A and B are shown apart, each in its own frame.
Chain A
Amino acid sequence: MGQYVFRRVLTAIPTLLFISLIIFLLLDLAPGDPSANLPLSIPQEVRVRIRESLGLDEPVHIRYLKWMNQFFIVEPTAALEKLTGLQIGDSENRLRIVSWTSRGVPVIDLILQRLPQTLWVVGLSYLLSVVIAVPLGVLGAYHHNGLFDQINSVISVIGFSLPTFFTGLLVILVFGVWLGWFPTIYNTTLVINSWETFAQQIRQLVLPVFVLTFFQMAAINRFTRSAALENLKQDYVRTARAKGLNEQVVVVRHVVRNSLIPVVTLVALGIPGIFGGAIITEQIFRVNGLGALLILAIQSNDVPVVQTTLFIFAVLVVLFNLIADVLYGVLDPRIRF
């Protein structure tokens, strides 16, 4: 197992380098320019000056190597420094990866600033959808084609097929505009220091979390249901029943555990997506998490932010792929590497 993990980590390195090159080149080749949003009255020489001050006049390979150096050496050193409080080298003049539109703000700081609200909204909804969808899926399979299964299926299909920009607007209209129960603007500066502010936090979470959970739940629900259905027909279930075990034990101990294997993979692979944020839902409710950071950076041609966040997502995807593979072995002792 240890050897397997080691081998996988080794193969991940060239994969990631290749991804980083693709990300860099794609953004470099794409049209767009950080001075494009300036008013037309700004003279051309000022635009040239801005591009030069951002280092855009250097050749591509130099910029790529610089970025790689920043990402793998400069940024980890800065992070280490921050964590330990030690001073490593010339920290004052270290050239970190900084945003173009927010001159001087390190991209990592921007990401850290946005992580809390993304985890609150996207993370919480992911957690909720797993907690709700897995039991529903198993029960749906158990009562195969019964009333519960049918209703559950209908709800899942609705959740699956309604895009979040539609459900988002719908709940804003109903609960925000007509009923006025919940805020439609997410306040990222809210500090939770009392029951009252905690209640406020819950209130502002309700609409975005509902929208996301409704959507994510559907897939996990359907997946669990089909996995459980398959298992319920297996011989070992019949054997368990023949032994005289009661239904609860049969379902929970035997069926659920075995059905979870593919579900765990699905869930693990979905986790990097949490860090990617939920671009549309974040936009609708002004959550301004990681998804909103990425889309705004793309719109304003803030290349360092786009490159770095995309690359971090790539690292997370590779990492969670590995974790999912390892979890397979943990859940199913028959799988050996």
Chain B
Amino acid sequence: MTHQENRRTFYLFGLLVVLALVFTACAAPAAGPSTGAADAPAVAAPSSDLPAEPGRGTDGTLTLLYWQAVSIINPYQSTGTKDYHAGSLVLESLLEYDPAGNLIPTLAQEVPTVENGGVSEDLTTITYKLVPGVLWSDGTPLTADDFVFTWQYCVTPETGCTSGNFSAVASVEAVDAGTVKITFTTPQPYPYYAFIGYLSPVLQKAQFENCVGAAAATCADANSFPIGTGPYKVKDFRANDVVVYEVNPTYRFENQPHFAEVVMKGGGDAESAARAVLETGEADYAWNLQVPPDILNEMAAKGMGTVVAAFGGNVERILINFTNPDPTLGDARSEWSEADPNPHPFLTDPAVRQALSMAIDRTIIAEQLYGAGGKPTCNIVSGPELYVTTTNDGCLTQDIAGAQALLEGAGWVDSNGDNVREKDGVELRVLYQTSTNAVRQKTQALIQQWWGEIGVATELKNIDAGVFFGPTDNADSLAKFYSDVQMFTNGNDSPNPQAYLGGWRCLTENGVNIANSSNAWGGENIERWCNTDFDALWGELAATADQDARIDLVHQLNDMIVQDYVNLPLVFRASVSAHANTLQGVELGGFETEEWNIENWSRAR
């Protein structure tokens, strides 16, 4: 290499270095290398600028991270939880649930009951008095007509309404401008569904009038910028990206909400959302952090934020198939009918089901795989608290030896030395299916090992969530249940577990409730478990209005399912979120959105 070339090389090197520097340092000097929240793109005013007491819009910008981005702000047209959350900042209903699961009035003056005359003696009507003087964010008054309209909007089939809250409603009437009367098709001992909670808010008639029926699909503006009575209104919305809210000027509570602007930013993944709150301080709140517990704990240890959990009624459980899923049966596999219940060769033996339950260590699953997002449970109704029994808590202790003895006693022995028990030529071999999800596959692996220890051979299968939870015409859908056991999460999304428990009925007034070919696998009873005692007891619950009696009945129904090992409840699941320590007022309950009391949120002072 000549001297000249050498020099040129160095010159070029210099150029490369400069380019690299330009790249990494471009604008850094402008703001200076500072760290933490003060550097974030959207931050609140520094705490020194805050007034002593939070007033309306005094606390700057609140940034919420939703890694599943918001698609639409009208809950009646949405198919995702994140959209319900986005709507709950704007739209309100008559009553909502506090974190303990109690009903509290929002747009209604009080919670109507039989005692205060709001609910008729025959339990077929409920009448709400509206809080006087409530205005929509456009300044027009809220009237009972808006409620009538919302009901009509949702029950028009072509609207494609995604809410089932009006299913028992015969009519909604405006008695006068401030009184809404709902009439039910049958007596409703628990009448609080229509216009209760975030799933069933009231829409403004003036805005949605032209969006009923097929036109609902062309109402981009109304669906993206709904007019509401809540603390905020939508200022900017980019579908599947970001929602920016500003204070609703007509909001009925003085001095609220405290944040002037709320940014609900979507995209990315759960882990980076957690990092932005717990490690970089770029956001104030991150929702639904499905992050491995050890990683989340490590982030939380930095001390910038707090991990919180909202427990609703969701339980991860294993469902037992009471019919025979043997593929050689062809279309008759897992098919149940009253004439031919097609019993499962060994899962109809209670001893086998009980042994499968006893072999599971629920605590390890909950602690290792769910962390803050789960508690071990033995109940199918694990929330709200008042409906939960403690009678089944024995299952929390794993008992391999007991399970082995139980199977031994029931005649299931391993006589041919293949480590799998058998009786009358039937081997305990199960196919265990669930959706594709890292936590579920780890749970499967643990349970496969424990069941192996008691002499049950387990074949694992996982199915894409879109198929498993998808239309029932697919052979791999959970309703078809072409396996011996399957696992997923279900639960009561209303604090009243009546409808949820009704899912285990065998026959209903509408016919067979068991998923089979006669109802295109639309039946709710996926286990194909038929117990007429249960049906009768549920009928009693559906006819009882007294709260204490209802609690007792729910306990009994729960125990029937759990003690017959129809389902093996594993983990009581929560939605895990994280908030910055500079944010105050977060109060989570599993039956409302996490922003249900956002008007009370403020900066720490």
Contacts and interface: CB of A to CB of B under 8 A. Distances in A.
B283 A185 contact: yes
A136 B12 CA distance: 9
B27 A203 contact: yes
A200 interface: yes
A49 to B, nearest CB: 6
Interface stretch (B132-140, B211-219, B417-425, B565-573): B211-219
Nearest to A169: B272
A177 B42 CA distance: 17
Interface stretch (B156-164, B328-336, B367-375): B156-164
Interface in A27-48: 31-47
A41 B24 contact: no
Contacts of A189: 236, 238, 242, 244, 263
B293 interface: no
A202 B43 CA distance: 18
A182 B39 CA distance: 8
B280 interface: yes
Which of A47, A102, A199, A206: most chain B CB closer than 10 A? A102
A260 interface: no
Interface string B26-58: 111011011110011110000000000000000
B71 interface: yes
Contact of A286 (B36, B74, B268, B465): B268
A38 B222 CA distance: 21
A42 B164 contact: yes
A53 B216 contact: yes
A91 B575 CA distance: 44
Given A41-B500, A102-B239, A183 B470 contact: no
Q: What is the size category of the interface that chain B forms with chain A?
A: 35 or more
A184 B282 contact: yes
Given A46-B161, A204-B41, A188 B238 contact: yes
Given A37-B80, A179-B35, A185-B283, A101 B72 contact: yes
Nearest to B263: A189
Contacts of A148: 9, 12-13
A113 B282 contact: no
B186 interface: no
B470 A292 contact: no
A40 B242 contact: no
A284 B242 contact: no
Interface stretch (A59-67, A79-87, A139-147, A324-332): A139-147
A283 B267 contact: yes
Contact of A181 (B28, B236, B242, B520): B28
Nearest to B313: A41
B170 to A, nearest CB: 17
Contact of A300 (B71, B81, B263): B71
Nearest to B80: A37
Given A104-B218, A184-B276, A284-B272, A50 B79 contact: yes
Interface residues of A, number: 79
A163 interface: no
A230 interface: no
Contacts of B279: 177
B482 to A, nearest CB: 15
Given A200-B41, A203-B30, A101 B80 contact: yes
B550 interface: no
B9 A146 contact: yes
A210 B24 contact: yes
A278 B85 CA distance: 28
A180 B220 contact: no
Contacts of A53: 157-160, 214, 216-217
Given A148-B9, A187-B41, 12 more contacts: A31-B467, A42-B164, A101-B71, A101-B79, A101-B240, A136-B16, A172-B272, A183-B40, A185-B276, A206-B26, A283-B268, A292-B241
23 contacts: A35-B162, A36-B469, A36-B470, A41-B492, A53-B157, A53-B158, A53-B160, A54-B160, A101-B80, A102-B223, A103-B217, A104-B222, A114-B238, A136-B16, A148-B13, A180-B36, A187-B42, A203-B26, A283-B267, A284-B268, A288-B241, A288-B267, A292-B240
